[in-house]
Structure 1
Amino acid sequence: MTLAVRRARPADLPVCADIYIVTVSVTFPGEPATAAAFAESIVGEEQWVAILDGDIIGYISVYWPTNFIHSLYIHPEFQSRGAGRALLAEVRKLAEGDMELKTDKANVRAFTFYRRLGWRAVGEGMAASGPWWRLRWTGGRP
């Protein structure tokens, strides 16, 4: 079992859209889970993919002007195998300074994952989908 991370290529985006659709459908049942919603969610951002034995199993999308991770999705069948951790480590190497992200308060699994990796809550807010946490990583380069 070989896990690799690389910058996404245009040909990878349909697979990333599929991962977005299935993961959002499972994690956030009330949210729109469509290819159009995926395309809208990555405008102006850079994507990186996690590849397990030749297949893309997840992606991360970063808005570099503010070092903001907009999304990190791992296909539900491949979660808890290190792909999310590997994607975060790769983009943290490239970050100029602190990084931030938001996670829905209802997504306790994601919040716990980020906290274990050293991210800390620095704010909170409310969106149409419900309350969220703003998390920051200041741990230096991995």
Structure 2
Amino acid sequence: MIRPAQPEDHPACAAVFLAAYRQAFPLHPPDYYVPERYFESITGEEQWVAVQAGQIIAVLSIYWPENFIHSLYVEPRLQNRGIGRRLLEAVVARAKGICELKCDKVNKRAVAFYEHLGWCEVGEGEAETGPWVRLRK
């Protein structure tokens, strides 16, 4: 089931975020992976979740005024099963207009995932975390 996140979902969302983030970006020191990192990252955004057997297994954060998808994370043990695609497509279908996102280039799996789903590169830049690519659908 895909639905908007509720306030009581946020601890489970943070757990998914941290597990997936740690897998995608393993080079940070251990104290980098804390729930506050998730809560700081979602300010002003709406979260959507994928739920399976009553458990949150994926989370997407979107900033609606710009149709900007800030993050999409799937529980690592459940990746490559179409969960992220379904969550992403459900949220994009609700958007009024074009959606965009940024993805760190070092996260090659994520870049390939978005490109496979038809997202097109429209820009690039540099951040504290390194080079990124901007994609549009």
TM range (shorter): over 0.9
Alignment map for 1:1-142 (pairs within 5 Å):
4-31=1-28, 32-137=32-137
Gaps of 5+ in 1: 138-142
TM-score under structure 2 length normalisation: 0.94
Gaps of 5+ in 2: none
Partner amino acid for 1:134? R
Shift of 1:106: 0.8
Partner amino acid for 1:88? L
1:9-40 CA-to-partner distances (Å, cap 9, x unmatched) read 11110000011111111111234321111001
Partner amino acid for 2:47? Q
> 1:60, 1:17 → 2: CA distance?
11
1:91-135 CA-to-partner distances (Å, cap 9, x unmatched) read 111111000000111111101110111100000000111100000
Shift of 1:75: 0.8
Task: Give the ranges of 4+ consecutive aligned residues of structure 1 lying more than 4 Å apart after TM superposition.
Answer: none
Partner amino acid for 1:10? P
CA contact (8 A) 1:19 1:73 kept: yes
Partner amino acid for 1:61? S
Partner amino acid for 1:22? A
Shift of 1:67: 0.3
Aligned residues: 134
Shift of 1:78: 0.6
What's the Cα RMSD here?
Answer: 0.9
CA contact (8 A) 1:20 1:33 kept: no
1:32-82 CA-to-partner distances (Å, cap 9, x unmatched) read 321111001000000000112221101000000100000000010010111
> 1:75, 1:8 → 2: CA distance?
16
CA contact (8 A) 1:62 1:69 kept: yes
Partner amino acid for 2:23? V
Q: Helix, strand or coil for the counterpart of 2:109?
A: helix
Single out whichever of 22-31 and 88-97 deviates more from structure 2.
22-31
